[in-house]
Structure 1
Amino acid sequence: MRKIVECVPNVSEGRRREVVEKITASVLSVPGVFLLDTEMNPDHNRAVITFIGEPEACLEAAFRLTKTAAELIDLNQHQGEHPRIGATDVIPFVPISGVTMEECVELARRLGKRIADELKIPVYLYEQAATRPERVDLGNIRKGEFEGLREEIRRDPARAPDFGKPEIHPTAGATVVGARFPLIAYNINLNTTDLNIAKKIAKAIRFKDGGFRYVKALGFEIREKNCVQVSINMTNYQGTPLYRVFEMVKREAERYGVMIKESEIVGLCPINALLDSAIYYLQLDTFKLDQILEYRLPQTKSLASFLGELSSAQPTPGGGAASALSGCIGTSLLIMTANLTIGKKGYEKVEKEMRDLKDKLESLSSRFYNLIDLDSQAFNRVMDAYKIPKERKEEREEAIEEALKGASAVPYEVLEKAVVGLELGKVNAEKCNKNSITDAGCGVNFLLNAAKGAYLNIAVNLAGLKDEEYKETKTREAEALLSRAEILQREAEAIVLRRLRE
């Protein structure tokens, strides 16, 4: 199982989009990291950035984010409703799959030390990474905020950081790094401007004042919406569900003659947290998760998931699957150009032909998509065959021979389908909407890449066969198909270039 970590840095900027975009760009500069979400709040003057990846990649991305934020944010000029002590205020690591909490704690410690050593920003560890009981709670670390910490860090040994000198960075402040379970940032807005009411309700529900065990809450003024807000961090939605907090806030608000205006979730949220609330309010006492339609649909991989697997140290998916994906992308581009031609003025004469072309391309694209997984499955059978003990020589050799033929058959079909796609692509290039002619050109080039990649995978699998006649026949056929693909691509691209000059 791949190791996947979620990282959710909170930076002290929620008003200047260009600054936040530069910060997220630093995250995306790290290979293997996928940006899931960016939430900006101008009243809080804060952005919550969520990304995932393998542990080392996430650590590097978090460091680059902190460095960029330190260069672009000056806390001396910062004002916002949300408490903060740093330009990059807090960086939690969350275990998602194949990773333990202990590994996330170690990540937090390594990142904290690096930030302090290289950026000269003092770092505090919190939650599961905390080195002192009082630092488990983020609120205790942020007490006094940037302005208060600036003095206290020097004179109060209890405020000394875990990493770095007891001296705050002049503009970037300090940073809190830790490891925690999935957290839900949940806000409830009240239809009043009385901040005292929001603060009283926040006190009633938060754990440190006798409220719910897994709730942290504060009251804020939200000028943009002319209301006040109970801002809540749900640290364990299973221990304290969303609906229970909502009902308590609603009841407390009614004591003051106030109603809930709306609620919101900031950033990402586990689906079960929402399902729990739906089941509660609809009183679905016997409801089971497998009744959810989407849960019963065939599982499909996201592009991010596929690329993550493709870049891993595992042998599958590999070049064969990538070639099938290239075919899928190529046909999809040609389908797009067909859609941009059908029904458009000036292309009435070719509409029927383009509709027929589109139908053929859609069938082809669907097959390419299936071949992505089929290629991995075929190669997995080759690896299984090689695992048969050498003592069972005859059985092993027969299994390897059969598996290698199967492993060459899938890319052979990709190569065949790529040639068909290029034939259709050549017609498409001649008759599609001229405004999409470059998309057609890209489509045929993706299909040629599919053909070339498939040919290489055929060659490598045929090389291990002992059946010389089969090997020679399939090699000859594959060479002819590749030659045909290259000719079709050149002809199609010539049409594209000609139409561009017309």
Structure 2
Amino acid sequence: MAFNYTTEEQKKTVDQSMLLCCKFFISEGRNIATLDAIERAARSNLETVIVNKFHDRTYNRARYNLVSYVLHDCTGNAIYSPLQQTVVAMAEAAFNAINLEFHDGAHPRLGAVDDIVFHPLACASLDDAAWLAKSVAADIGNQFNVPVFLYAAAHPTGKQLDAIRRELGYYRPNSIGNQWAGWTMPDILPQTPDEGPIVVTRSRGISMIGAQSWVTLYNIPLLSTDVSAARRIARKVSARGGGLPTVQTLGIVCEDSTEIACMLLEPNRVGADRVQNLVEILAAQEGLDVEKGYYTDLSPEMIVEQYMNLISAKKSSP
């Protein structure tokens, strides 16, 4: 259910220390018209701000970081965020423009709208993020007939994203060269989704929607096209492979090299420097050179600062 807060008195109740960030991942990084349509949908709500975006042609994938406030009732429960309407509008634009059957890229994916994750910022709570994740999941599952799997704080038992993806075959390449192409999964899913139908529309695929504390995304280039070596290194770095705790990794093909794409689930516990160091050690054992890694997004503090600046600029513009 959407709440419409439009009066000046209601706007005064907005607490700008209660903020949520949405990372919205789509399976498109090449078609400018499609990316423009999705961005127009994001900008249609003036109370939501795009603070950062990342497009990758080789991955054929894009991510938008959006921020807005969350309102609570008198008992402290979240009841409204402009992000809900904005994210659903972006999903509609993506489903209308992206056909997963014709998609190919170097990054794994299961859906046109592949992943949506909500993070609490400033004084907002993980419960706020989980509420919004579940609300958006219900909208997307019901309005667009897309199977949605919840994860982390949005999941009833806290099941993690990588575990669900593994069960659905996300990490298994299905094509030579681009690694992932078209749709090769069964039309009827082996697991029942949390929202939406068990039958998949091939053009739209599956969406993952979750809520968790801030996750840092950090990629490390290897000066090699040997994807097998990249995947061996990635596995040894990951927590699942006995490497660093709270680190998830992927070995991915790029245009003339490979990369270790890393998700740092607790960046204050295991940061990018430790990951970089271990990758360099393991790459040396493979006889490979490594470049300095790079972040694909901003820090939470930078996200909040960017949001406040952009909101102030909107309010002061005629």
Q: TM-score range by the shorter chain?
A: 0.7 to 0.9
Tell me, in whole angstroms, the C-alpha distance in 1 between the residues paired with 2:230 and 2:211. Answer: 29
Q: CA distance change for structure 1 residues 259 and 69 in 2, over 3 Å: closer, same or farther?
A: same
Residue 437 of structure 1 corresponds to none
The answer as to 2:29 corresponding to 1:5 is no
Structure with the bigger percentage of helix: 1
Q: Secondary structure at the match of 2:295?
A: strand
Deviations 1:30-69 (A, max 9, x none): 1201111121101111001111012311111111111110
Tell me, in whole angstroms, the C-alpha distance in 2 between the residues paired with 1:210 and 1:267. Answer: 26
The answer as to 2:175 corresponding to 1:175 is no
Q: Secondary structure at the match of 2:105?
A: coil
Asked whether the 8 Å contact 1:127–1:138 carries over to 2, the reply is no
Q: Secondary structure at the match of 2:283?
A: helix
Q: 1:106 aligns with which of 126, 131, 134?
A: 131
Tell me, in whole angstroms, the C-alpha distance in 1 between the residues paired with 2:148 and 2:102. Answer: 21
TM-score scaled by length of structure 1: 0.53
Q: Secondary structure at the match of 1:150?
A: coil
The answer as to 2:232 corresponding to 1:208 is no
Residue 161 of structure 2 corresponds to 137
1:216, distance to aligned residue in structure 2 (A): 0.6
Tell me, in whole angstroms, the C-alpha distance in 2 between the residues paired with 1:148 and 1:240. Answer: 36
The answer as to 2:65 corresponding to 1:65 is no
Q: Secondary structure at the match of 1:164?
A: coil
Asked whether the 8 Å contact 2:234–2:249 carries over to 1, the reply is yes
Residue 49 of structure 1 corresponds to 64
Asked whether the 8 Å contact 1:45–1:81 carries over to 2, the reply is yes
**How many residue pairs were aligned?**
279
Return the letter of the residue paired with 2:271.
Answer: P
The residue correspondences of 1:111-260 to structure 2 (distance < 5 A) are: 111-132=136-157, 135-141=159-165, 143-145=168-170, 147-151=183-187, 153=189, 156=190, 159-223=191-255, 226-260=256-290
Return the letter of the residue paired with 2:92.
Answer: K
Deviations 1:121-155 (A, max 9, x none): 1111012112345x3133533632483543450xx
1:210, distance to aligned residue in structure 2 (A): 1.3
Q: 1:266 aligns with which of 296, 304, 308?
A: 296
Tell me, in whole angstroms, the C-alpha distance in 2 between the residues paired with 1:235 and 1:14. Answer: 25
Tell me, in whole angstroms, the C-alpha distance in 1 between the residues paired with 2:148 and 2:204. Answer: 11
The residue correspondences of 1:396-475 to structure 2 (distance < 5 A) are: none
Question: Higher relative contact order at CA 8 Å, sep ≥6: structure 1 or structure 2?
Answer: 2
Asked whether the 8 Å contact 1:214–1:240 carries over to 2, the reply is yes
Asked whether the 8 Å contact 2:60–2:106 carries over to 1, the reply is yes
Return the letter of the residue paired with 1:254.
Answer: A
Q: CA distance change for structure 1 residues 148 and 250 in 2, over 3 Å: closer, same or farther?
A: same
1:194, distance to aligned residue in structure 2 (A): 1.2
Residue 177 of structure 2 corresponds to none
Deviations 1:388-445 (A, max 9, x none): xxxxxxxxxxxxxxxxxxxxxxxxxxxxxxxxxxxxxxxxxxxxxxxxxxxxxxxxxx
Tell me, in whole angstroms, the C-alpha distance in 2 between the residues paired with 1:66 and 1:45. Answer: 17
The structure that has the greater radius of gyration is 1
1:18, distance to aligned residue in structure 2 (A): 2.0
1:195, distance to aligned residue in structure 2 (A): 1.2
1:222, distance to aligned residue in structure 2 (A): 0.6
Tell me, in whole angstroms, the C-alpha distance in 2 between the residues paired with 1:101 and 1:27. Answer: 23
The answer as to 2:21 corresponding to 1:21 is no
Greater Cα shift, 140-149 or 164-173: 140-149
Asked whether the 8 Å contact 1:37–1:51 carries over to 2, the reply is yes
The residue correspondences of 1:315-334 to structure 2 (distance < 5 A) are: none
Tell me, in whole angstroms, the C-alpha distance in 1 between the residues paired with 2:267 and 2:309. Answer: 29
Tell me, in whole angstroms, the C-alpha distance in 2 between the residues paired with 1:116 and 1:57. Answer: 19
Asked whether the 8 Å contact 2:141–2:147 carries over to 1, the reply is yes
Structure with the bigger percentage of strand: 2
Q: Percent of aligned pairs with the same residue? A: 22
Deviations 1:291-342 (A, max 9, x none): xxxxxxxx9995424368x6xxxxxxxxxxxxxx68xxxxxxxxxxxxxxxx
Return the letter of the residue paired with 1:211.
Answer: G
Deviations 1:10-47 (A, max 9, x none): 00001112211110110110120111112110111100
Taking only aligned residues, the RMSD between alpha carbons, in angstroms, comes to 2.3
Tell me, in whole angstroms, the C-alpha distance in 1 between the residues paired with 2:192 and 2:90. Answer: 24
TM-score scaled by length of structure 2: 0.81
Tell me, in whole angstroms, the C-alpha distance in 1 between the residues paired with 2:257 and 2:55. Answer: 18
Asked whether the 8 Å contact 1:190–1:262 carries over to 2, the reply is no
Give the unaligned 5+ runs of structure 1.
273-298, 311-324, 327-445, 447-502
Q: Secondary structure at the match of 2:249?
A: strand
Give the unaligned 5+ runs of structure 2.
1-14, 71-80, 171-181
1:78, distance to aligned residue in structure 2 (A): 0.5
Asked whether the 8 Å contact 1:187–1:229 carries over to 2, the reply is yes
